[in-house]
Amino acid sequence: MTAAFRYEWRRLWTIRSTYWLIGGTLAFQFLLSLIIAASIDPLDTVLSDGQITSSVVSVGASIGNVPLFSAYIIAMLGVFSFGHEYRHGMIRSTLTAVPNRGAVLTAKIVTTAVVAAGLAFLCALIGLLNAALFLGGDVTVNTSFVWKVILGLVVYTVLFGLCGLGLTGLLRNQTGALALILLFPSVIEGALHILMVIPEGEDGINKVASFLPFDAGGQMFARPLFSDVIDIFGYVPLEPLEGGLVFGAFTLVVAALTGALFIVRDA
């Protein structure tokens, strides 16, 4: 198992894409959180201190209806973890260096999760720093509310990254997986959401809408102000823990399917 970890760790840090994805994520987070923090007037909003800080930390995602952009970028690390194996014909070299496929997959999962968690947390700290710098005088930044949101977005980012990894392992096609991981939460799930939620009176379907995996996962960090407005169509978002469990279960299913196929398929 340690051989697989050594291999995967070396694999990750010897390609340029790792650096530009990490650099891009941090730069994006810094600039966006700075702009948001600088543009909010705490005295001219109905948001609570926790919501204001969270919106800076999550670059607007905690307010709802805005994707957690950093998670999308970080998910590409997961996609590339498997994608490069298949796109560049590396998978056979990998498996002749480490024949234990279970170990290879485990190393990829753990490495992706650790890097995603670390990067998401670093992004949150950057957001907190900007919030403290620009809003610290009027807003209490360091609250349990904010730290729960940070926990949620870190877990969400990790699961998002693992979904990217898993979908790439399933498809064995980097471009297809990249398109899927970017479009599924934003476009496909969004469209399904509208189709399910708009017809009024269909309570069963409305309930299913809240179980769409990425939407459910988003509840881990979403603290919308106008949740009662969303309720107009009968859509009731899951609680953060429920949403996390749904998204976690989805990720687990994807990972299990990927693992099973990775072991039985030809390399």
Partner 1 sequence: MAVIEAVGLGKRYGSKPAVINLSFRVNPGSVTGFLGPNGAGKSTTMRLMLGLDNGDGSTTFDGVPFRSLQQPMRHVGALLEASAFHPTRKARNHLRMLAAANSIPNARVDEVLALVGLSSVAGDKPRKFSLGMGQRLGIAAALLGDPHTLILDEPANGLDPQGINWLRNLLKQLASEGRSILVSSHLLSEMAQLADELVVIGRGQLITSGPIRDFITSSQRTSVIVRSPDMSVLGPALAERGGYAVESEAGTYSVTGIGQTDLGDLAHEVGARLHELRTREATLEEAFLDATGMSEEFVGQTVRPGHQPGGGAWLPQHGQPPPGPPPGPPPSAPPVGPVDPGAPR
Binding to partner 1 by residue 241, rule CB under 8 A?
A: no
Q: Write the burial class of residue 151 (CB in 10 Å: 0-12 exposed, 13-18 middle, 19+ buried).
A: middle
Smaller CB distance to partner 1: residue 8 or 49? Answer: 8
Site pattern 2..41 for partner 1 (x: CB under 8 A): -xx-xx-xxx--xxxx------------------------
Binding to partner 1 by residue 106, rule CB under 8 A?
A: no
Interface stretch with partner 1, choices 33-41, 83-91, 217-225, 227-235 (CB under 8 A): 83-91
Distance CA 8, CA 103 (A): 10
Smaller CB distance to partner 1: residue 2 or 144? Answer: 2
Give the CA angle between residues 81, 17, 36 to the nearest 5°. Answer: 105
Name, in order, each residue with C-beta under 8 angstroms of 255's C-beta and a sequence gap of 6 or more: 109, 162, 165, 166
Q: Name the helix (H) or strand (E) containing 223.
A: none
Among 1, 88, 142, 229, binds partner 1 (CB under 8 A): 88
Distance between alpha carbon 132 and the CA centroid of its chain, in Å?
Answer: 24
| CB atoms closer than 10 angstroms to residue 212 | 21
3-state helix, strand, coil in the chain (%, to 5): 80, 0, 20
Name, in order, each residue with C-beta under 8 angstroms of 95's C-beta and a sequence gap of 6 or more: 101, 104, 267
Smaller CB distance to partner 1: residue 17 or 106? Answer: 17
Q: Shortest approach of partner 1 to residue 162 CB, angstroms? A: 22
Interface stretch with partner 1, choices 25-33, 97-105, 108-116, 245-253 (CB under 8 A): 97-105
Buried b (16+ CB within 10 A) or exposed e, 213-243: bbbbbbbbbbbeeeeeeeeebbbebbebeeb
Q: Shortest approach of partner 1 to residue 115 CB, angstroms? A: 16
Binding to partner 1 by residue 82, rule CB under 8 A?
A: no
Among 1, 90, 125, 191, binds partner 1 (CB under 8 A): 90
Distance CA 267, CA 165 (A): 17
Site pattern 131..170 for partner 1 (x: CB under 8 A): ----------------------------------------
Binding to partner 1 by residue 223, rule CB under 8 A?
A: no
Binding to partner 1 by residue 260, rule CB under 8 A?
A: no
Nearest alpha carbon to residue 59 among 180, 153, 166: 153
Q: Which residue, chain included where needed, has tokens 């102000």?
A: 225
Binding to partner 1 by residue 71, rule CB under 8 A?
A: no
Among 38, 45, 65, 93, binds partner 1 (CB under 8 A): 93
Residues in contact with partner 1, total (CB under 8 A)?
A: 27
The binding site for partner 1 (CB under 8 A) comprises: 3-4, 6-7, 9-11, 14-17, 84, 88-90, 92-93, 95-100, 264-267
